[in-house]
Chains A and B, each alone.
Chain A
């Protein structure tokens, strides 16, 4: 168990990515660095188009970096010379959800271990039901199709599907973006519980500063194009996190420290969007 806990240290070293759509080089990521400890819950905050997803794509192995490198437990994950290769060490939970709608909840959840052949079908099913049950009694929905679940349940099932692979890093790409305030708050509770149960390294990408401060141990604020780490903030709120912390002095003080910076970046991104549309 201890061994597992000490896996999942992520170091991002001067990562850079230049997209080259027909020669008009777009610098999505430049000199972006961060050291993430194993088991740490990290949130990356930034406006739309700031390169958060680019960074996530590089870590997940969907896309190549053009400079710098990213290491997971000392092993190179991404660099200009590394062929991008996604794998179960770092599993993504997608912004719009990517449960396979043609598979039942259970089939979705056992997909990883059975495809990787680390578990037989029966063992995988037993493990899946156990995890689904622990993560808020989802096991009763095992035989249903994702389309028959609420969006909150879908997102939790997707997180369980990711955790089934014993990943070193869990990558969450604005998973609660499309949700209303009430569901979002409920999902925060669920996510914190799940993280307490399965303390993996979590990289949580969001544009919502309050969400980031409430959930994470460390919050990075990213600049907009080129994407760079602008500010790093340690969130020293105790765990388990409770709703009353949202009005605590420490929380508000942290928020005060970065809110101006985040707003400035959002404004820059907005103006750039206006310019690009014009």
Chain B
């Protein structure tokens, strides 16, 4: 490890330590009621790693994993659906100006409505609250995927398309050989945004309308005055969100190996 990396690591550790100490001290020692009501980090950590937690949720309890699995399944169901529909929709919008005209108007109409505003209607429309939460999560991820894919298709250098046509590509070849790989970097940017947005909506949806899941756990713990559990669920949501974006980034790097090791000479 280079001295620079060592220094960075030290400072990172110091940063975490300062943050945790500040949190601890403000809860424990500051004579302010507002802070005193919050759970302190030591209690949270103890609870999180306790074999027999005071409020029933720790890494040793099955309930914790039940909530994690419920949220993850919902997030991934919504995300996969969003990708399966959003990527083709975005490509089609970039591909055909006719389709673009129709779809752009509908997206322009529906997109300004925040996903959470859909929750009540979704519960009314759809057979179960479960489906409603997934639908709301899907919706944001879908818009993010579609629009980023469209941007990616539009950003493809027209010379690539001309070159391919010179070389004898037909319309289907153009789609497979130029449009899809050319838009891939932007598609993956979109997928990362979509994943973030999906977790965001999922948490909110679960807090409003679900019976289990991490969002529900946060709300439930609040209602039952189990404050350390709130923080455990929040941090878990953060970790899951982080892991899913990291996974997408990794997959993207694997699929787009042509972008790594470039000498920067190609434009």
> A181 at interface (Cβ–Cβ under 8 A)?
no
Point out the residue from B165, B177, B181, B184 that lies within 8 Å of A86, measured CB to CB.
Answer: B165
Known interface pairs A102-B256, A145-B258; A60-B162 also in contact (CB < 8 Å): yes
Complex A-B, nearest 8 residue pairs according to Cβ-Cβ distance, in ascending order: A147-B262, A112-B167, A116-B168, A98-B163, A102-B181, A86-B165, A98-B159, A145-B258
C-alpha spacing A111/B258, complex, angstroms: 17
C-alpha spacing A115/B164, complex, angstroms: 9
> Which residues on the A side are within 8 Å of B266 (C-beta)?
97, 99, 101, 146-147, 149, 151, 154
Q: In the complex, how many angstroms separate the beta carbon of A86 from the nearest chain B beta carbon?
A: 4
Contact at B166–A147, with CB atoms within 8 Å? Answer: no
Chain B at the A interface: mostly helix, strand, loop or mixed? Answer: helix
Binding site for B on A (CB under 8 A): 60-62, 86-88, 90-92, 94, 96-104, 111-112, 115-116, 145-151, 154, 161-162, 165
Contact at B258–A147, with CB atoms within 8 Å? Answer: yes
Between-chain CB contacts (< 8 Å), 19 pairs: A86-B165, A88-B166, A91-B166, A91-B167, A92-B162, A94-B159, A98-B159, A101-B258, A103-B181, A111-B177, A112-B167, A112-B168, A115-B167, A116-B167, A147-B264, A147-B265, A148-B262, A149-B265, A165-B168
Contact at A148–B261, with CB atoms within 8 Å? Answer: yes
Interface membership of chain B positions 17-39, coded 1 if the CB is closer than 8 angstroms to chain A and 0 otherwise: 00000000000000000000000
Which A residue's beta carbon lies closest to that of B174?
A: A115
Q: In the complex, how many angstroms separate the beta carbon of B184 from the nearest chain A beta carbon?
A: 7
> Which residues on the A side are within 8 Å of B261 (C-beta)?
145, 147-148
Which A residue's beta carbon lies closest to that of B182?
A: A102
Contact at A111–B182, with CB atoms within 8 Å? Answer: no
> Which residues on the B side are within 8 Å of A104 (C-beta)?
258
> Which residues on the B side are within 8 Å of A92 (C-beta)?
162-163, 166
C-alpha spacing A103/B170, complex, angstroms: 18
C-alpha spacing A88/B177, complex, angstroms: 17
Contact at B166–A86, with CB atoms within 8 Å? Answer: yes
> Which residues on the B side are within 8 Å of A86 (C-beta)?
162, 165-166
Contact at B157–A100, with CB atoms within 8 Å? Answer: no
- Most chain A CB inside 10 Å of its own CB: which residue of B160, B257, B265: B265
Which A residue's beta carbon lies closest to that of B180?
A: A102
> Which residues on the A side are within 8 Å of B256 (C-beta)?
102
Contacts of B146-178 to chain A: CB distance below 8 A: 157, 159-160, 162-170, 173, 177-178
Contact at B166–A150, with CB atoms within 8 Å? Answer: no
Which B residue's beta carbon lies closest to that of A60?
A: B166
> Which residues on the A side are within 8 Å of B178 (C-beta)?
100
Point out the residue from A61, A96, A149 that lies within 8 Å of B267, measured CB to CB.
Answer: A96
> Which residues on the A side are within 8 Å of B263 (C-beta)?
147-150
C-alpha spacing A55/B262, complex, angstroms: 34
Contact at B265–A111, with CB atoms within 8 Å? Answer: no
Q: In the complex, how many angstroms separate the beta carbon of B187 from the nearest chain A beta carbon?
A: 12
Interface membership of chain B positions 204-215, coded 1 if the CB is closer than 8 angstroms to chain A and 0 otherwise: 000000000000
Q: In the complex, how many angstroms separate the beta carbon of B129 from the nearest chain A beta carbon?
A: 43
Contact at A145–B262, with CB atoms within 8 Å? Answer: yes
Interface membership of chain B positions 245-265, coded 1 if the CB is closer than 8 angstroms to chain A and 0 otherwise: 000000000001111011111
Which A residue's beta carbon lies closest to that of B255?
A: A102
Q: In the complex, how many angstroms separate the beta carbon of B167 from the nearest chain A beta carbon?
A: 4
Q: In the complex, how many angstroms separate the beta carbon of A59 from the nearest chain B beta carbon?
A: 11
Contact at B267–A97, with CB atoms within 8 Å? Answer: yes
Q: In the complex, how many angstroms separate the beta carbon of B19 from the nearest chain A beta carbon?
A: 40
Q: In the complex, how many angstroms separate the beta carbon of B97 from the nearest chain A beta carbon?
A: 18
Contact at A96–B159, with CB atoms within 8 Å? Answer: yes
> Which residues on the B side are within 8 Å of A149 (C-beta)?
263, 265-266
C-alpha spacing A86/B262, complex, angstroms: 30
Contact at A62–B181, with CB atoms within 8 Å? Answer: no
Q: In the complex, how many angstroms separate the beta carbon of A187 from the nearest chain B beta carbon?
A: 14
C-alpha spacing A12/B96, complex, angstroms: 34
Contact at B258–A94, with CB atoms within 8 Å? Answer: no
Q: In the complex, how many angstroms separate the beta carbon of B58 from the nearest chain A beta carbon?
A: 47
Which B residue's beta carbon lies closest to that of A102?
A: B181
C-alpha spacing A96/B157, complex, angstroms: 10
Contact at B159–A111, with CB atoms within 8 Å? Answer: no
Which B residue's beta carbon lies closest to that of A85?
A: B165
Q: In the complex, how many angstroms separate the beta carbon of A58 from the nearest chain B beta carbon?
A: 13
Known interface pairs A97-B266, A100-B178, A102-B181; A147-B259 also in contact (CB < 8 Å): yes
> Which residues on the A side are within 8 Å of B169 (C-beta)?
111, 115
Contacts of B168-226 to chain A: CB distance below 8 A: 168-170, 173, 177-178, 181-182, 184
> Which residues on the B side are within 8 Å of A145 (C-beta)?
257-258, 261-262
Contact at A100–B177, with CB atoms within 8 Å? Answer: yes
Point out the residue from A87, A99, A101, A146 that lies within 8 Å of B168, measured CB to CB.
Answer: A87
Contact at A98–B162, with CB atoms within 8 Å? Answer: yes
